[in-house]
Amino acid sequence: MTFSSMIVDLLGGLFVSVEIFVWTLVLALPFGFFVALGRMSSNLFVAAFFRIFISIVRGTPLMLQIMFVYFAPYFFFEMPLSKYPRILATVIAFAINYSAYFAEIYRGGILSIDGGQREAAKALGMSRAQTFLRIILPQTIKRVIPAVGNEVITLVKDTSLAFTIAVMEMFAIAKQLSSANTSMTPLVAAGVFYYLFNYAVAWTMERIEKHFAYYD
């Protein structure tokens, strides 16, 4: 195996890792907000349901969740595994997992807003929806960005867990190449790619955080 062919193989795996990363964020960020609102609902049954959901998701390993999502259709509905794309199962599991963590971050951000601001908005004749969208939400977004950024960086590394169900992302390919060639080079190269991926994500989150700094 030449160095150039190894890099090409790893870049192919990196593309899969990025795909998992992007689709997880696209799904988990808005769904996490929905879960947060459910967790804060005045309806006790709704709040209890989402509290249990968050507890289960945060209390079990992501690796186990990936396996459950992938194998559940087969065991429960006898759906052939060949018709259930591994990448789809991975994205669903990641989205569910990260939505629970994002939900708690959002909830903490919303609760951190001084209640006096709600009272002031009410005195000005603003509806609850207007108060939330114009007063609470912008401040919440600004406050949760650092915590969300930490989770996003963790997600970059967690994409390697997709190898659990044989998704050929970058870590799986690096491990395969390392075993086949009895060399640490593919693993080292994968480590470099993960670092660069993480650096790009961290830089982007820092730019976003500075963009919302006008609320300080």
Q: What are the pLDDT tens digits along the chain (216 aa)?
A: 688 888 999 999 999 999 999 999 999 999 999 999 999 998 999 999 999 999 999 999 999 999 999 999 888 887 777 777 899 999 999 999 999 999 999 999 988 887 777 778 777 777 777 787 778 888 888 889 999 999 999 999 999 999 999 898 999 999 989 888 888 999 999 999 999 999 999 999 888 888 776 545
Give me the pLDDT at residue 77, please: 80
3-state SS of 179-210? HHHCCCHHHHHHHHHHHHHHHHHHHHHHHHHH
State how far the Cα of 90 lies from the Cα of 17, in Å rounded to an integer: 11
Q: Which listed CATH number (1.10.3720.10, 1.10.10.410, 3.30.565.10, 3.40.50.2020) goes with 3-215? A: 1.10.3720.10
Give me the pLDDT at residue 78, please: 78
How many other CB atoms are found less than 10 A from the CB of residue 203? Answer: 10
Give me the pLDDT at residue 125, please: 75
Domain boundaries, the chain: 3-215
Give me the pLDDT at residue 214, please: 57
Helix (H, G, I), strand (E, B) or coil at 86: helix
Q: How many residues appear in the chain? A: 216
Helix (H, G, I), strand (E, B) or coil at 112: coil
State how far the Cα of 163 lies from the Cα of 171, in Å rounded to an integer: 7
State how far the Cα of 54 lies from the Cα of 7, in Å rounded to an integer: 39
Give me the pLDDT at residue 129, please: 75
Give me the pLDDT at residue 136, please: 82
Give me the pLDDT at residue 210, please: 82
